[in-house]
Structure 1
């Protein structure tokens, strides 16, 4: 059974890392797996190349590239695979998969509508074609119930086979045991891209309220993006320069996770929430908002008390964690085991393998 995963590029992002690690796991299980990229530019390309997984180049110049020669080449390439597994949308790729003889699996990692500002005509055109495509693929997979429910509503999914397969990640070989240090300042952490949907302003404002309630601690923000300067200005305006550290993008965030006592991910309408899984793998409690979408599905089964409705509740929850260090340490092993059992790349590979076998 030959499988081809299609992604845009090998950047270090949520989708790209997920697909590459899935392909590596599939290869280790003896599957004949390849990856198709639109470009080799990206931080993960060298890592991917070392895995011995065949890499194909699509020739696409963007999601709206409809060059006929490229389309024909794609259709020819896809014909060599039993399963073509799509992870994002492009016009030529869409038509080529449906005209080829391969079975098509499409994983929806989130809805693009409303995520960024774009031309309304262009968006209408894309969403109309995407609606047609998603009702034609053999299996539609979503990374959370939240994402699948949105897709069914927005794209009016009827005829496609649809299901949820939760994301999985490569598990660390070991987890460092963090010891309680009563003299250490309570550490609140965030690892995130800085975009509007991440709602990092909610965390900064709630942290201010936490301090006003008598809480003592520091907030460390790891990441970069469009709203970085906006969040920096907010921290300055709230006079939090001494207690909020913004360290920017970091290629290795393990040392930061080992430093944090609690992680807060204030996102709204998040498709999944891989960062919450990473925090749990370090034994760290995670706090999220009720409107966080798929992120809530990761946190609520384990720590329903850490789902908050508003800034006031977030500040109160941070205060509770800061004065109850045993809550953090006593449940550390439970968090790690929860993440290992439910969100490993091995579990994800098994579930996708079942889908593939049902098609061929």
Structure 2
């Protein structure tokens, strides 16, 4: 039987959700003997800073594609690559490249990884690009997938009418082991404390300040509590200043960007993700697979969809409700109550194991190319 040849197309190997999902998915696909998987990166090879995908050994093509690249030779290079594959699996949208793919011999699958504009650019160019994407999904793509029901519903409202439009959740390649002592050794003040934490990019719509505010109220009557914030981004300086203003610097740790976030998630007693309009939420799945109680907000989008399937009581409406839930979980901890839901969370998270997600994509590939 012939292998299905698929090339994933991404802008760069950045540190966000798309990069993480691609890192997990391509490793699972490389183990499928009926798949031939590669990646097309729209950057120069020397410009790639994050090497973890490069180090997996997955074949990678590099074609530098500028935001408004009108060089026809660039698109000829892209078509030369795509024409040697059965499937072009797009994870990004670049309008001129999308038009060029009209002439590709390969079938086109596009995965929507984003939904909504809450806290994101709401400019004329952004709206124009959205309209172009909808046209591309309807007229050029053979299949469209979405990383959550929330994402799918959003794009249907935006005008997507492609009849092959499905939900295939993002998946995680779960680790078998992690270093539970790493965070405690790096930050000794965490030892023997009730640790509330998050792992996130520090950008506006992640709303890390909501967690800080709730923690500030909750910690007033509790000395043995710590807030562990793992991540980095454009709002970090503002968040640091907010913590200083509240006078809780001794109880809050900014751990910065970490490649093995699982080592930090492992020491958390409670995980919180305050995002709004989140398309999916890999970090929530990672925490659930560690058995951690995981709190999200009602307007969290795809990340809320994940928690709805396991613990609806951990979906909060506002900061005061978050504060109350933090206090309730701390009280259980202080009174020595056993968390008997940990195993249930671990089993539920297996729904998002990338090994299972790979099978769904492989079935879609075969259906799309009529194998």
Q: Scaled by the length of structure 1, what TM-score is found?
A: 0.91
Alignment partner of 2:197 out of 175, 189, 197: 189
**Equivalent in the alignment of 2:170:** 167
In the aligned structure 1, how far is the partner of 2:224 from the partner of 2:361? 46
**Equivalent in the alignment of 1:10:** 13
Correspondence 1:55 to 2:60: yes
In the aligned structure 2, how far is the partner of 1:161 from the partner of 1:288? 31
Correspondence 1:254 to 2:262: yes
Deviation, 1:327, is: 5.9
Deviation, 1:71, is: 1.5
Deviation, 1:32, is: 0.7
Q: Deviations over 1:103-130 (max 9, x none)?
A: 1100000137455336x34223322221
Residues 318 and 131 (structure 1), Cα distance of their counterparts in 2 relative to 1, 3 Å cut: same
Deviation, 1:76, is: 2.4
Residues 193 and 141 (structure 1), Cα distance of their counterparts in 2 relative to 1, 3 Å cut: same
Deviation, 1:294, is: 0.4
Residues 289 and 250 (structure 1), Cα distance of their counterparts in 2 relative to 1, 3 Å cut: same
**Equivalent in the alignment of 1:219:** 227
**Deviation larger for 160-169 or 326-335:** 326-335
Q: Is the 8 A contact 1:216 1:322 kept in 2?
A: no
In the aligned structure 2, how far is the partner of 1:307 from the partner of 1:22? 28
Deviation, 1:44, is: 3.8
Alignment partner of 1:151 out of 150, 155, 163: 155
Q: Is the 8 A contact 1:109 1:271 kept in 2?
A: yes
In the aligned structure 2, how far is the partner of 1:308 from the partner of 1:347? 30
Deviation, 1:198, is: 0.2
In the aligned structure 1, how far is the partner of 2:119 from the partner of 2:137? 19
**Equivalent in the alignment of 2:48:** 42
- Secondary structure of the corresponding residue to residue 330 of structure 1: coil
In the aligned structure 2, how far is the partner of 1:241 from the partner of 1:289? 25
Correspondence 1:349 to 2:354: no
Alignment partner of 2:106 out of 102, 105, 109: 102
The CA RMSD over aligned residues, in Å, is: 2.1
Alignment partner of 2:343 out of 333, 341, 357: 333
Alignment partner of 1:90 out of 83, 89, 94: 94
**Equivalent in the alignment of 2:280:** 272
In the aligned structure 2, how far is the partner of 1:124 from the partner of 1:347? 35
Gaps of 5+ in 1: none
In the aligned structure 1, how far is the partner of 2:54 from the partner of 2:256? 27
When the two structures are aligned, how many residues end up with a matched partner? 351
Deviation, 1:54, is: 1.7
In the aligned structure 2, how far is the partner of 1:328 from the partner of 1:146? 34
Correspondence 1:124 to 2:134: no
Q: Is the 8 A contact 1:12 1:43 kept in 2?
A: no
In the aligned structure 1, how far is the partner of 2:233 from the partner of 2:364? 36
In the aligned structure 2, how far is the partner of 1:117 from the partner of 1:298? 26
Residues 241 and 321 (structure 1), Cα distance of their counterparts in 2 relative to 1, 3 Å cut: same
Deviation, 1:213, is: 5.8
Deviation, 1:9, is: 1.1
Residues 110 and 15 (structure 1), Cα distance of their counterparts in 2 relative to 1, 3 Å cut: same
**Equivalent in the alignment of 2:216:** 208
Deviation, 1:28, is: 0.6
In the aligned structure 1, how far is the partner of 2:102 from the partner of 2:337? 52
Q: Is the 8 A contact 2:115 2:278 kept in 1?
A: no
**Deviation larger for 15-24 or 198-207:** 15-24
**Equivalent in the alignment of 2:188:** none
**Deviation larger for 288-297 or 247-256:** 247-256
Deviation, 1:328, is: 6.1
In the aligned structure 1, how far is the partner of 2:279 from the partner of 2:64? 29
Q: Scaled by the length of structure 2, what TM-score is found?
A: 0.89
